[in-house]
């Protein structure tokens, strides 16, 4: 058989599936998922098929009997998947006589079509079929490899045909810095992007792998210097999406952890721009992890208190350090480190409380500086601590914690 891949629209069209076993369930489920009206004809149904009927009663119906030639009336496609090869062969021959394409499970040569092993990604479908003698294991293995490539490779998956109504914004959390810590979904969003609005933090090396005609707009902020205001960033997102473009807002960490993702989503929504959010690996959790610091540890810390360090520490954050009830994680706290330390000590925190500062987490330049709370400001000044850095305060920051195996 010489085969070709043909995208066939079966939405709201009738399909006959003969058989009630696992193969029939697999085919019926895929067809119903594509919007077809599936008529299953079989004396008995396997458990998977019964579950399908319960989940999609509007797309499937069952005739409790053996299949007959009359079941071909008005159908667009036939799937012969009974446990009787002769019945499958006769059904496919009858379908061919009526110019209806058929798929024959177990004997592809008896049908006139083959069901590809499908991989779906970024609004695209890739199907694999055997060009000659059927080889299902090889087909599935190849499909799986292609699916992995689509999800992880540097591909250009931008839509070639766009309209103003197709514009959208994707808020992507790029992770703490290392390019391979962005999620697979985040990589997919970059592959589909016409425009990338980026911060200075996050996986900036990925930008160099984008096609040259992808527009990259740098709105990065440095401490004390905001070249582009948040209001201007919001407007950029809306203006670019209004042109029918897919706009990726690439952020370090997670969009919703001190990333102002909520503000950007609300502004887009107010202007009728659809927004997708791709969560990222927050530096609040990943930076300590990359430094070998467990934020919770049995017998040592059972909770985490996360704050941003631009302003004064709240009373709950201070209290968690004073009574040792939680690990305190401070983001963006380098410039105000002395103030935070003074607040903690004046509230009663022990000057011996362990502190660790993780700079450039997950990058080759990562550095971890440790000292007691009463000494950390002096030590940080001596070694030249610079942002971006994450400050961890609490017993878990003790370098000896894991080395001694201490736990409750």
> Catalytic residues, which ones?
199, 221
Crossing angle, helix 376-383 and helix 337-346, to 10 degrees? 170
Whether 341 and 391 have beta carbons less than 8 Å apart is answered as no
CB atoms within 10 A of CB 68: 12
* Contact residues for 4 (Cβ-Cβ < 8 A; gap 6+): none
Query: Residue 360: which of 181, 223, 201 has the closest Cα?
Result: 201
* Contact residues for 369 (Cβ-Cβ < 8 A; gap 6+): 356, 357, 359, 376, 379, 380, 383, 385
Q: How many CA atoms lie within 13 A of 250 on its CB side?
A: 36
Distance between the two ends of the chain, CA-based, in angstroms?
67
Longest dimension (CA), the chain: 90
Whether 21 and 28 have beta carbons less than 8 Å apart is answered as no
Query: Residue 29: which of 11, 56, 9, 47 has the closest Cα?
Result: 56
Query: Residue 328: which of 350, 312, 345, 305 has the closest Cα?
Result: 305
Pairing of strands 354-359, 37-41: unpaired
What are the CA-CA distances from residue 131 to residues 43, 98, 353 (Å)? 34, 25, 68
* Contact residues for 89 (Cβ-Cβ < 8 A; gap 6+): 80, 104, 107, 110
CB atoms within 10 A of CB 130: 17
Distance CA 143, CA 116 (A): 9
Pairing of strands 221-222, 275-278: unpaired
């Amino acid at each position: 058989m010489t085969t070709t891949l043909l995208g066939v629209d079966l939405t709201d069209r009738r399909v006959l599936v003969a058989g009630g076993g696992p193969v029939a369930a697999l085919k019926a489920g895929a067809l119903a998922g594509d919007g077809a009206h599936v008529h299953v004809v079989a004396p008995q149904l396997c458990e998977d098929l019964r579950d399908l009927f319960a989940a999609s009663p509007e797309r499937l119906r069952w005739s409790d009997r053996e299949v007959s030639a009359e079941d071909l009336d008005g159908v667009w496609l036939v799937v012969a998947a009974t446990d009787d090869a002769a019945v499958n062969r006769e059904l496919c021959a009858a379908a061919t006589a009526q110019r209806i394409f058929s798929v024959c499970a177990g004997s592809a040569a008896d049908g006139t079509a083959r069901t590809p092993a499908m991989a779906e990604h970024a609004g695209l479908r890739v199907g694999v079929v055997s060009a000659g003698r059927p080889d299902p294991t090889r087909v599935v293995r190849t499909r799986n490899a292609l699916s992995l490539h689509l999800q992880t490779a540097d591909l250009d998956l931008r839509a070639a045909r766009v309209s103003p109504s197709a514009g959208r914004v994707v808020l992507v959390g790029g992770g703490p810095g290392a390019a391979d810590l962005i999620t697979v979904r985040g990589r997919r969003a970059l592959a589909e992007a016409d425009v990338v609005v980026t911060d200075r933090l996050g996986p900036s090396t990925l930008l160099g792998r984008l096609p040259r005609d992808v527009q990259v707009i740098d709105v990065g902020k440095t401490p004390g210097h905001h070249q582009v205001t948040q209001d201007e960033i919001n407007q950029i997102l809306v203006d670019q999406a209004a042109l029918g473009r897919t706009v990726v807002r690439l952020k370090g960490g997670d969009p919703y952890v001190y990333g102002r993702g909520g503000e950007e989503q609300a502004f887009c929504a107010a202007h009728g721009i659809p927004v997708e959010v791709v969560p990222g690996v927050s530096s609040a959790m990943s930076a300590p992890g990359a430094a070998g610091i467990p934020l919770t540890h049995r017998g040592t810390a059972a909770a985490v208190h996360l704050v941003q360090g631009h302003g004064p520490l709240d009373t709950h954050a201070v209290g968690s350090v004073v009574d040792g009830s939680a690990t305190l994680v401070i983001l963006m706290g380098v410039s105000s480190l002395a103030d935070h330390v003074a607040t903690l000590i004046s509230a009663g925190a022990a000057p011996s409380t362990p502190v660790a500062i993780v700079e450039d987490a997950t990058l080759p330049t990562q550095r971890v500086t440790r000292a007691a709370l009463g000494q950390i400001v002096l030590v940080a000044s001596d070694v030249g601590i610079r942002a971006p850095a994450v400050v961890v305060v609490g017993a878990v920051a003790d370098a000896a914690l894991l080395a001694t195996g201490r736990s409750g």
